[in-house]
Each structure stands twice: as structure tokens, then as C-alpha cells.
Structure 1
Amino acid sequence: MLAFWFCVGLAQCGLLYLLARCGRALIRKAEEERTAARFTPQGGWPRAAMIVPVAGAHPRMADALKSLLNQDYPSLTPVLVTAAAEEPAAELVRRLREDFPAVRHVVAGPAEGCGQKNHNSLQGVAAVGDTADIYIFCDSTHLARPDFARCLAGAVARGEAAFSTGYHTVEPRDQRPVTLGYAFSVLLMRFFQGLSAFTQPWGGAMAMSRDAFGRYGVAELWAHNVVDDCSLGALLQARGAHVRLCPAALLGTEAENHSLPVWRAWMERQVLFLKFCMPGQWLLLGVLAVLMALPPLCAAFALLGGLLGLGGGAASSLALLWLTMLLGVLGPWRDFLPRPVPLWRWLWAFGCAAGMFVLVYLRSVPARVIVWRDRVYTVGRGGTVLNIRRG
């Protein structure tokens, strides 16, 4: 048993080391991609529409939307979509149009058979129609560099892929455990995106050609599904379609004094989307949960037993060896943060992230609904929406 848990600990450290290497490779690829995005594709940049579902009253939404509206992509049509004409997000859009008159504001109305975000995106596409050759879909709460749209749509514009995706990174503005734990969680998911076996569309930053949108039946899929990205990922995986990861299309998410319930709700949605849309990957998440939970639990019991004189010295020695290896592989992860973080705080953040992930995964096993904003979605196989009610 002792050898088993130590082998699991070795596997955990090996995975974290592999992901850190993947993260460094993504940074190198991002620089190459930004260089390529400076050049105009043969035939010029295709007409593109940036469709952004906007909801809620996030404190940094105005800055995030301004960063999306200040893109240097030529012939880009920005479309901001709200569910209602009278809501805080709609008022924000009207204020933004004073400085950005090219913005189109679409009022989608309430969703009836799908997630509200899906409905908003589809109404945005309908408003654009065939005036765009590329559809770019973005979230409304992340900061974008001016070349974000060119980096994200570049692979589609050059004919290298029909679908492309970016991701985001969290910039912690404090060193609280929840804030750093959230940052670690997003880093982990971003690095998994860098492994080709796990690359899939991310709804916060994805692009596709208008031809692919119609050919793969994206509108029909989203019209009955709870989520945009995982459902599309499952469809493309089933049809053997390639999704191009664009590391330079990286949005920034600022986090300060991050709320524990907000973090948990966000992580629950990520796990539940996979459970309903991509059950195979959800089962793999269970393996990852074991990999994250078992080594620290066993090490804690081994060290406690050693202190109380209840166990042999071998167990305590292996626990200390595992902890040393863990610190060795976690240390370089701090290089991906914009500000230095003490190693002990980063270790505590890792523990919080692992504990939250295991808790959320266990809660997902019996779950039959997804709570998203003010709605509760009863979800069936493949992410199909069976019922919507106010939460």
C-alpha cells in the first residue's frame, strides 16, 4: 500500500512537471503566432463579426468590453447581445455605443430551449448573417490585447483550420488562498488545452468560419444545449474535426479578493458541462481527482503517524520525499504569474485548488441540474436542455 500511494504521488508530480513544460511551450508558440498575425493573409483579412453575449453587472465588464472593441482587426463588426433591453448590461452597451458607434446591440429575449448564452450567441449570428465570413465568440469580462482578434481568427483566415480557440489566464491582485487557488485552477486547465488530446473550444474565445458554422450544424446544436463550448467540442470530436489552439489569443482575467462561492460555482459548471456533454472526459476527471487527492491525504496521515509514534519511519520519509518533489515541480508554476508569490502560499493555493476540485467532482456525481446565473437547467444526455426554471 505504501508503494502504491508513493507511485501515485510520483505520477502527480510527473503530471505537474509535464503541464509546466507545456505552459512554457505555449508561451513560445504565442510569440510565433503574434508574429504571423502581423502579416495579412493571402487575399486579405476576411470579414469577421465579434459576437459577445453580455449579462450581469461585473465591475470590470466596461474595461473588458472596451478592450474587445479596440481590436486592430480590419473589417471587424462588433455585436453585443443582451437578453433584455432593460437590464444593467444593456445600459452599459448603450453607453459604450456613444464612443463606439460601430457597435451593434442585439436584444435576444429569454431563452426557451437552451442556455441563455447559447441563445444570445445565435441571435447575434442571425443579426450578422452572411455579412461576415468568420464568427468570433467572446466572453464579456476578460481583458484582450489589441491583436487578440487577429491571433484568434488568424488560423481560420489562413485556411489552416475551420475552428480555433483561445483561453484565459488569471492575474491575481492579492495573495489570498481563494484568489490564488482560482488562478492555479485556470492555469491547470489552460495547460491541459495545450495537450492535443484535450484541446477543445472554449466559449470565452473561439472562432469559426461561416461555412463551418453551417456545415457542422452549430446553430441546431446550440439551440437545444445548455452550453456552447463543451457541446461543440463533443460534436467536433465525434466527427473527427480539428480545433486549432491559438496560444496568443489569451484573455486576461483580473481576480481580487475572489469569493469562495463564486469560485465553487464556476468550477461546478466546468465539471458538469463535461459530465453531460463529454462523459468520457468527465470520467478522466475522476482519475485526475484521485491523483490530486490521494498523495496529500496519505502523506498527511504518514506524517501524523510519525509524530504520534504510530507508524514506521519509512512512511514519514516517503511523505517528506513526496513533499519535496511537489515543491520542486510547483515552484516553476509561479513563473506564469505576473507577480511573485511565496512558495508556501503557492503550495497552499495548490492544496485549496485540489480540495475544491475533489469536492466539486464528488458533488457532480449525483447532479442532474446546472445552475447558471439566475436559471436552473435540467439537463439530459449530451447537454440537451429538458427544462428551465428561475433559480
Structure 2
Amino acid sequence: MELAFILLAVSVSLFNLWLCLKSLLYSKIIFTRFYSTRYDNNYNPKVAVFVPCKGADNNLKIHLNAIATQNYINYRVTFIVDSVLDPAVEVINRITALYPHTKLLVAGKATTCGQKNHNLLRGIEDDNNESEVYLFADSDVQPHINWLKELIRPLSLESVPVTTGFRWLIPEDNSVSGSLHSMMSAYLCMLIAHQTFRGVWGGSTAIKRKDFEKLNVKELWETSVVDDMTLTRLLFKKRINRVFVPTCLTVSYNTLSRLTDDIQWYSRQAAFLKAYLKPLWIACIVLHALTIGISCSTPVFVLISLLWFPVYKYAIIASLFSLVQMICYGMMKFIYKDNQRFIKWFLYAPLMQVLGFYSLIKPGFSNNIEWRNICYELHRDGRVKSIRELPEKVEIS
């Protein structure tokens, strides 16, 4: 019993450490020193940037302006909405009036797939095969001036069909919910950074047009609810590598203000995972269950050891395990340099584990996904079964 407990605790600790350290090493050292030098700095394909927009928060103009003013000449931007009545249209019109390489496209309502997928496919159709590279971006991030150039540079290699960045959330206040939202996003970033998972993030992904067509991404998106998880599943299935570009982490200050919103957001990510990458979803549940189980046993073993001394070994092992897990969560913040402190992430780690586990198991009881005020009912294979609009409410994507 003692040996089994030790082996389990050590195995889970080493796996979590491996996840964390490999992501950090790749982001800080390996990509810059070993990967980046292989790419052609003079690679200059024609790029079509597609930005689905929904609603208008206070920073929308700043975000869209950052996308429109990239340090790259050979590109054009299409901002896509589902209706001319969308509040984002007013902001988009101001941007398109300033920059001739930008335009507004009204895609209409989706009927067979997620609204974001529909918007992207309408944008691609409007491009009419004129561009060599498609780049998909979210409207709630603020990319740096060289983001586009750096994201497409790995595509200069024939062996690289897809590249991806990720979003880095920075809370504007010291709220618990904002910090947890940032931590949850950082955890996903840590997974994306692993080549093993072949993950892409739809808010910052580039793909060569010829590979988009070769992989039949259009046909996949026409019946699915989300873009990035389905593309990730396709890369898994075809055993195709993609490159995560750590210099293309895009900053966003749109963190959530309530714990219930954190759970809803993370549960939606888990629902996408369940629908399109079910084995990975199950693996995440098992890993979280083991982590929480051993961590929660710490105070139990400590209390029992006060009454029955032989249990002290279990108390020490569980305590060390909990400490390692908290350090791992704290270390995630070093993927990107910001104003958040290690100690805060370290102390919030237990709460993050509990909320993360609850959010992971929550989608197991439903095939419905609510996203951007729309409820999607899915078939077991992830195809959209029905679409129903919900009352308007403020939501973070």
C-alpha cells in the first residue's frame, strides 16, 4: 500500500513537472535557439487575415487597430460579423476608413455549424483563392507589431503546414476570478506549447491555403461548432505536426469578473475537448482526479498521524506532492513576462485544481454547448444537430 501510494504520487508529480518544464524550456530557449534559426526571414507570401467579431467591448478598436497595423506589407484583413446590426460594425467601419487593406464582411447567420466557423468560411470564400496563407485571429487580443510576420515565418519550411500562437490573459484588477481565468488560460497555453498534443488556438493560427484545401478543413468546419479543436483533431488523425510560436502570445486584459464565469468558460473549453478530442478529455479528468485526490489527502493524513504515528509517511509524501503541484502552477506564469506574481499563482493552485476538475466533468452530462449567446446541440460525433439563439448577455470568448 505504501509503495503503491509513493509510486502514484511520484508518477503524477513527474508528469506534471514534465508538462510545465518542457513548455517553459520550449518557450524560453528551444524555439529561439534551435527552431527559429531554420526559418526564412524573407518569406513574404500574400496573407489573408480573418477576424470574426461579435459585440464591441471597450478595447475593440485598440485590438483591431493592432491587427490592421502589422509590420508586414503583403496582407489584407477581413473583419467578419453575422449581422450589420452588430455593435462591432461601427468600430470596424472606423478602422476600414483608415486602412485600405481592411474590409468588413457580413456573413449572415450560421445554420449547420458554429457561427465562428461560418464567419471564417465566408471570409475564405470571399478571398477567392487569392492568398497563399490564411491567418485566423480573435478580436479580443492585442497582437504586437511583428505578430503576423513571426507567426507565418515557420511556414517557409515545406514541412510546416500550420502555426499557432496563444492568448495571455492579464487581469486589470486583483480579483480572484480574474487571476483564476488567467491561470486556466495559462494551463491551456502550457498544453498547446507541447508538440505532442498538436494543439492549435483559433485566435492566432496560420495555415497554408494548399494545406487547408488538402486537409479538407472546409468540409470539417461546415458541420462542427468550433474551429481550433477540430483542426487539432485533424492534425492528430493525419499525424501532421504544427509549430507553436511562443513569440506570438497575444495579450488580452479581458478577464472574467466572477467565479461562475470562470467555470462556464473552462467548462466550454472542456465541452469542445469532449466533442472532438474525447481521449484527451478523459486523460485530463483522470490526471486532475489523481492530483486532487492526493492533494486533498494531505490534511487527512496529517491529522491521522497525530493520533497514529505510522501514518506520518503518507502525510509527508502527500505534503510534498501538494507542494510540487503548487510550484508547477506557479511556474506557469513564467511562460510570459507580466506583472502577475508567482506567489499568487502558487497560493491559488488548490482552488484552480478544484474548479478545473469540476469544469472538466461538467460537460459529461450534456451534448449542448452555449457560446456567444447561441446554444448548439451536437451529435455524438461532434456534428451540429441544432442551433438555438439565446437572450443577449455579455460573454467572454
TM-score normalised by length of structure 1:
0.90
> For residues 191-245 of structure 1, what are the alpha-carbon distances to aligned partners after superposition, in whole Å with 9 as ceiling and x for unaligned?
2222222122211111111111112111111111111111122123222222222
C-alpha distance in 2 between matches for 1:209 and 1:332: 34
- 1:96-141 per-position Cα deviation (integer Å, ceiling 9, x unaligned): 2232232110000110010000000011111111221100001110
- Whether the 8 Å CA contact 1:82–1:120 is kept in 2: the answer is yes
Which stretch shows the higher mean deviation, 257-266 or 104-113? Answer: 257-266
Once residues 171 and 31 of structure 2 are traced to their aligned partners in structure 1, the CA distance between those partners, rounded to angstroms, is 21
1:26 maps to which residue? 27
- CA 1:342–1:249 in structure 2 vs 1: closer, same or farther (change >3 Å)? closer
Between the aligned partners of 2:256 and 2:154, the Cα distance in structure 1 is: 37
Alignment of 1:294-333 (within 5 A): 294-306=293-305, 309=307, 312-333=311-332
Q: Distance in 1 between matches of 2:45 and 2:175?
A: 44
Give the letter aligned to residue 26 of structure 2: A
The 5-angstrom pairing of residues 225-374 of structure 1 reads 225-255=224-254, 258-306=257-305, 309=307, 312-336=311-335, 337-341=337-341, 343=343, 345-374=344-373
Secondary structure, counterpart of 2:29 in structure 1 = helix
Aligned to 2:395: none
Q: Provide the secondary structure at the position in 1 that maps to 2:170.
A: strand
Deviates more, 1:264-273 or 1:286-295: 286-295
Give the distance between the partners of 2:303 and 2:389, measured in 1 at CA.
Answer: 47
The alpha-carbon deviation at position 334 of structure 1 amounts to 4.3
Q: Which whole-Å deviations, capped at 9, do the CAs of 1:256-290 have from their partners, x for residues lacking one?
A: 56332332222112111111111121121122222
Per the TM alignment, residue 85 of structure 1 is displaced from its structure 2 partner at its CA by: 0.7
Question: How far 1:150 moved relative to its partner?
Answer: 1.2
Q: Which amino acid in 2 is paired with 1:227?
A: V
Q: Is the Cα–Cα contact under 8 Å of residues 151 and 165 in structure 2 kept in the other structure?
A: yes
Q: 1:164 touches 1:245 (CA, 8 Å); kept in 2? A: yes
CA contact (8 A) 1:174 1:256 kept: no
Change (3 A) 1:388 1:149: same
Gaps of 5+ in 2: 391-397
1:297–1:252 Cα change, 3 Å: same
Q: Does residue 17 of structure 2 align to residue 17 of structure 1?
A: yes
Partner of 2:198: 199
Question: Does the residue aligned with 1:172 lie in a helix, a strand or coil?
Answer: coil
| CA–CA distance in structure 2, aligned partners of residues 61 and 304 of structure 1 | 52
- Cα root mean square deviation, aligned: 2.4
For the residue of structure 1 that corresponds to 2:296, the secondary structure is: helix
Matched residues in 1 for 2:53 and 2:216: separation? 24
Letter in 1 for 2:339: R
Question: In the TM superposition, what is the alpha-carbon distance from 1:366 to its structure 2 partner?
Answer: 1.4
**Counterparts of 1:257 and 1:339, CA distance in 2:** 17
Q: How many Å separate the matches in 1 of 2:334 and 2:200?
A: 26
Aligned residue for 2:123? 124
**CA distance in structure 2 between the partners assigned to 1:162 and 1:256 by the alignment:** 32
Partner of 1:80: 79
Q: Is the 8 A contact 2:294 2:322 kept in 1?
A: no
Structure 1: runs of 5+ lacking an equivalent:
none
Q: How many residues align?
A: 386
Measure how far apart 1:49 and its partner are.
0.5
Residues 122-161 of structure 1 correspond to what in structure 2 (within 5 A)? 122-161=121-160
TM-score by length of 2: 0.89
- Alignment match, 1:101: 100
**3-state secondary structure, aligned to 1:52:** strand
Distance in 2 between residues matched to 1:68 and 1:236, nearest whole Å? 27
Aligned CA distance change for structure 1 residues 40 and 108 (closer, same or farther; 3 Å): same
* Inter-partner Cα distance in structure 2 for 1:120 and 1:245: 24
Which letter does structure 1 place at the counterpart of 2:251? G
Contact 1:110 1:116 in 2 (8 A): yes
Q: Distance between the aligned counterparts of 1:188 and 1:282, measured in 2?
A: 14
Paired AA for residue 16 in structure 2: L
Cα pair distance change 1:3/1:186, threshold 3 Å: farther
Change (3 A) 1:303 1:74: same
